Structures are given as structure tokens and as C-alpha cells.
Amino acid sequence: MRGKPRLPLETLQPFLLDRPAVDAGPISWPAVFGNDRPVEIEVGFGKGGWLVEAAEHRRDVNFLGIEVMRGLQLYVANRLARRGLNHVRVLCSDARYFLTHHVAAGSVAAVHVYFPDPWWKARHKKRRVFTAEFAAAAERVIVPGGTLNIATDVEEYFGVMTALVAERPVFVEIGRSVESAPPEGPMTNFERKAHARGGSVWRANYTRT
Ligand SMILES: C[S@@+](CC[C@H](N)C(=O)[O-])C[C@H]1O[C@@H](n2cnc3c(N)ncnc32)[C@H](O)[C@@H]1O
């Protein structure tokens, strides 16, 4: 990735969450962050547009970003280190696996899934991150009163995701919109691109009862 030179690995290390051992069980958030503030998770943060901006504006929560691409984990760790965003960690893992095996029930204040890969070809659809199993995992890890937040520029995937959430009555919809202009607040890199080309963004927010 172009841009400023990468910081040394030892400088990035405090921002990296190492993948736990397979049999390690649920992770301890106070052990990871050194405090007991609420934890919010972003799944598939890409270049980190939303994660970095959200973290800059909200110091009262801890953020964990989960991204399957190691290069993006390091790229965003650089961004975090340069800004001193010590309340953020980035993990290189399949979010579906991590949520299921390493996050305790009711231990997360919010899950954010923005612009997940649509995997257009029928034979690739199983690679989609947002599946029935993912919705079940989100239900398990989000604390009552916490939120699930989704957005995409793919209307069909939005329909699939909202239908999967609708099958889980603990989630109550608190917002739904189709946006044709940039919203206030943090945006993802894909979101900026969608608006730059004049596309639409579908968004839904739920509270977990
Ligand atoms: C289309 S990009 C969107 C990135 C970012 N959310 C944005 O809106 O700019 C989807 C991202 O999800 C990541 N991803 C795909 N499957 C994943 C999984 N199972 N767990 C974690 N990240 C995943 C991809 O590597 C990619 O960076």
C-alpha cells in the first residue's frame, strides 16, 4: 500500500491482537484493553476509514477491528499508531470463527459490518461473512441493549442480511435508510467510493433486546 513508510513492527505491536490459541476459549476484554469500557467490533475493516474515524471521536469505548487480510491489519495498525489511538486493537482472523470461538456471550456493546464482500458468483456465495451462523453469533455476543449495525452498496445483499436478522426476534430494528449522499459521521473507504460514483448505500441498525 502506498503512503507513509510503515512504522517498525514493535511500534505496531501494541495495536495488534494476536490470534488466540485454538483451545484458548473466550478472550478477556479487560486483559486486552487494560480497562473495562464497552467493546465494539468492526468486521472486515478494510483500509480502516470507519474504524480510525470512529475511534478518534469516541474515546469512551474500546474498538476491535477484525480483518482477514494481514496486510490490511498492519496498514491500519500504522494509522492507529500514528494517531495514538490506544483504545483500538486490530486482529487478523476470519471474523466468523473469532466471534464463535473467542468472544464471550453478552460481552460486546456493538457489532458493525460495513460493505461486506458480496461474492457475486453463486459458487462463491458461501464465502460471504454475513450468514445465518454469523447472525446467530452476533446475537450471542452482543449484550442486551447493544447494537448490530450493517451497511452495503449492494441492495441484494442488504435484503439477505436484513432477512437473516429478521429471523432473530431479539434484534429490534431502530433505523433503516437508503442514502444517496454522504452521511454525517465516520465513513468507510467503500462508502466514500460508493458516494463518489453517485451510488446508493443501504443501512440498518438494530438493538439487541
Ligand atoms: C468490500 S471490503 C470493505 C472494507 C471496509 N468495510 C469498507 O467499507 O471500506 C470487505 C472487507 O472484509 C474483509 N473480510 C472478508 N471476509 C472476512 C472475514 N470472514 N472476516 C474478516 N474480514 C473479512 C475483506 O478482506 C475486506 O477487507
The per-residue pLDDT for range 49-84, each reduced to its tens digit, is 999 999 999 999 999 999 999 999 999 999 999 999
Note down the domain range covering 94: 9-208
pLDDT at 123: 81
Q: Judge contact between 120 and 127, C-beta under 8 A.
A: no
SS3 152: strand
The answer to the question of residue 70 being in a domain is yes
Give the integer Cα–Cα distance in Å for 175 and 151. 11
Predicted confidence at residue 1, as pLDDT, reads: 64
Q: How far is the CA of 116 from the centre of ligand 1 (A)?
A: 5
8 A C-beta contact, residue 89 and residue 102: no
In a domain, 3, yes or no: no
Residue 155 in domain: yes
Q: Mutate which of 17, 47, 68, 188 to test ligand 1's pocket (most atoms within 8 Å of Cβ)?
A: 68
Mutate to test the pocket of ligand 1, among 17, 102, 115, 158 (most ligand atoms within 8 A of CB): 115
Q: Is residue 2 part of a domain?
A: no
pTM (2 d.p.): 0.97
Residue the block writes with cell 502506498: 2
pLDDT at 2: 64
- pLDDT band for position 121 (cuts 50, 70, 90): confident
Whether the predicted pLDDT of 21 surpasses 80: yes
Would you say residue 4 lies in a domain? Answer: no
102 grid coordinates: 473467542
Residue 114 in 3-state DSSP? Answer: strand
| Residue 46's CATH number | 3.40.50.150
Q: How confident is the model over 108-120, as pLDDT tens digits?
A: 999 999 999 999 8
List the grid coordinates of 115.
460493505
* pLDDT tens-place string over residues 170-196: 999 999 999 999 999 999 999 999 999
117 is catalytic: yes
The pLDDT-based confidence of 126 (bands split at 50, 70, 90) is: confident
73 falls within a domain: yes
Ligand 1 geometric centre to CA of 76 (Å): 13
Ligand 1: list residues with CB < 6 Å. 43-46, 49, 66-69, 72, 94-96, 114-117, 129, 188-191
Domain for residue 142, yes or no?
yes
- Contact between 93 and 22 under an 8 Å Cβ cutoff? The reply is no
Query: How many domains in the chain?
Result: 1
